[in-house]
Chains A and B, each alone.
Chain A
Amino acid sequence: MSERPSLWWIDWRLSRGPLVQETIGRFLFFCLLGFALLSLLLSGGVSRILADRYAITAMLRAEVPSSEAEGLARKAAALPPVRSATYRDPEAAWEEFLRAYPGLGPVRGAGENPLPGYIEIRIRPDRLTGADVDLVVSSLRSVPLIEHVLAGEVWLPRLLRAGRLASRACWGIFGAFLACFFLVGRLQERARAVALAGDFSFLAERGVPSGRLAFFRAAGAAVSGFLLAAAGTAAGGGALFLFLRMFPFLEGVVGPPSDLLLPRTVAAAALFSCGAALLSAAASVLGWRAARPGRK
């Protein structure tokens, strides 16, 4: 026999029906995983929720003119961890105070506004860490125009720790689903290897090395795993995009739909597809080893 047989997609050539069912199941699972992955990537776990609700308030001295305060807000906005810095003049501050505590209008007395202006600084979700908050706070405190900086230093570490734990829990659940995929995939590969054991020993008896069979099965599993994961993640991303467009309030939790096309999101999805390919190949090899056809 001069030509070596091509063993690419050998499972597909030998047993199409069960493989089609498995492939459909894996695609749907990757759709769910892709949806979860992109949601986690965009939201950063619970970082976006925390960042949406946390703000540093820089109280200005009473005599600071508006133009200088706005310039200061622009400088604060230029700090790397800062998402936005907005100046509120004393009148806006008073109105906010009245909205929060209605009925305290007489405090103002003879027309003198007791509140100073302030700058509200919000941190980017991916930079909401103790170090970055410290960086912003220390930068603000060194400015003579600022009287106080309210950053919640007493409770912030606990909040950040809780946020980290919640994020890890989210990623842990995602990892558990990925592990489930691997275990179920391994069982499926093993069951298929057992079902095709007769065919594999037929090929082995006719000079096809078992190692080549295992290699090409794993290679086929890797390629199909990559393609399925990429397609599933794309479909999951599409579903997430539609969700965010249909329910805009979710943007506060997950993030804007435009973030789905950021290079880092795409790179993470590609990395996930590569990981799925590796897991598929490993499941194939382990399934093969568990059901290796015995040779006489």
Chain B
Amino acid sequence: MIEGFRLGVFSRGTTLWDGLDFAFGDAAAWFVTGPPSSGKTLLLSILRGERRPDAGDVVVSGESLYRGNAALARAWRASCGHVPEQTIADARLTVGDLFRRSALAGGGVRESERKYRTDRLLEMVGLPGASGWRVAELSISERGRACLAAELLRGPKVLFCDCLVAGAGVLFWEMLWGLFRALAREGNTVILAERRIPERWALAAGNPEPVGPFRVYRLPDPAAEVKGEPG
């Protein structure tokens, strides 16, 4: 369980938001929507333990990320995957480099296993044989999917994705929909931050919980969807 208590952020000379409470249960896919410049990226970095909130605290499994043990916060970050909103920061790398770097962060991934899993994951996100491609030559959609696959290489317990769905494009929504719910079914937590939720996803998720400028949806797990029960 990831909980944010009375979270507040002071940014650009003003209070962006204050007193927000979040609760993201384990083994579920969560969808946070918010208008542009509402602080979605900031919220994700706070939840990942990267940026201390100006007010409030984040508690993961009962331990404070910012007021507790630094080693626990590091262990939390190590268990997280993060697909950032695409930038040109990794333009010099190849797709294979993204996987190599991800494996380095994870540790314990053998070279042969890494190569095998890289091929499988790239195929899964619709980029078969892209290992040698340069990131600079990829489209926004391809970059997002390549980063997602590289993060999945480590098998993160919690996956944070920033504007991944919008960037991936409509063609890949079905794939992502299935992937996120599969991850949730395997006990992982996925938190997505987007400007808007695809209509079909919103219908399946049911009524969102409004939290400040955000709307928080819980995507239904496959079993609930079959029964027609929105999550």
- Report which A residues bind B (CB closer than 8 A): 1, 3-7, 10, 13-14, 195, 198-199, 202-203, 205-209, 295-296
Q: Which 4 residue pairs across A and B have the least CB separation, nearest first?
A: A207-B78, A5-B107, A207-B77, A3-B108
Closest to A5 in B: B107
Closest to A207 in B: B78
A195 to B77, CA, bound (A): 23
Q: Does B86 contact A (CB under 8 A)?
A: no
Query: Which residues 80-95 of B sit at the A interface, judged by CB distance below 8 A?
Result: 80-82, 89-90, 92
- Stretch from B97-105, B118-126, B177-185, B206-214 at the A interface: B97-105
CB-CB < 8 A to B105: which residues of A?
A: 5, 202-203, 206-208
Q: Is the CB of B48 within 8 A of A3?
A: no
Closest to A212 in B: B74
A202 to B81, CA, bound (A): 10
CB-CB < 8 A to A13: which residues of B?
A: 100, 104
CB-CB < 8 A to A14: which residues of B?
A: 97, 100-101, 104
Q: Does B45 contact A (CB under 8 A)?
A: yes
Shortest Cβ gap from A66 to chain B (Å): 80
14 additional contacts, CB 8 Å, given A5-B106, A203-B104, A206-B82? A1-B79, A1-B107, A4-B107, A5-B108, A7-B104, A13-B100, A14-B104, A195-B92, A205-B82, A206-B78, A208-B78, A208-B105, A296-B45, A296-B51
Other-chain contact of B74, A198, A209, A296 (Cβ < 8 Å)? A209
Q: Is the CB of A296 within 8 A of B75?
A: no
Contacts A14-B101, A199-B101 given: A207-B74 contact, CB under 8 Å? yes
Shortest Cβ gap from B88 to chain A (Å): 10
Contacts A207-B74, A296-B50 given: A198-B90 contact, CB under 8 Å? yes
Shortest Cβ gap from B117 to chain A (Å): 16
Q: Is the CB of B77 within 8 A of A205?
A: yes
CB-CB < 8 A to A5: which residues of B?
A: 104-108
Shortest Cβ gap from B175 to chain A (Å): 24
Q: Is the CB of B107 within 8 A of A6?
A: yes
- Report which B residues bind A (CB closer than 8 A): 45, 48, 50-51, 74-82, 89-90, 92, 97, 100-101, 104-108, 154
CB-CB < 8 A to B89: which residues of A?
A: 198
A217 to B78, CA, bound (A): 20
24 contacts between A and B (CB under 8 A): A1-B75, A1-B106, A3-B106, A5-B106, A5-B108, A6-B107, A10-B104, A13-B100, A14-B97, A14-B100, A198-B90, A199-B101, A203-B104, A205-B48, A205-B77, A206-B81, A206-B82, A206-B105, A207-B74, A207-B75, A207-B77, A208-B105, A209-B74, A296-B50
CB-CB < 8 A to B92: which residues of A?
A: 195
A202 to B102, CA, bound (A): 9
Closest to B105 in A: A206
Closest to B52 in A: A296
Shortest Cβ gap from B81 to chain A (Å): 8
Closest to B151 in A: A206
CB-CB < 8 A to B80: which residues of A?
A: 206-207
Shortest Cβ gap from A7 to chain B (Å): 8
Shortest Cβ gap from B60 to chain A (Å): 13
CB-CB < 8 A to B45: which residues of A?
A: 296
Q: Is the CB of B50 within 8 A of A207?
A: no
Interface centre among A5, A6, A7, A209 (most CB of B within 10 A): A5
CB-CB < 8 A to A7: which residues of B?
A: 104
CB-CB < 8 A to B107: which residues of A?
A: 1, 3-6
A209 to B45, CA, bound (A): 17
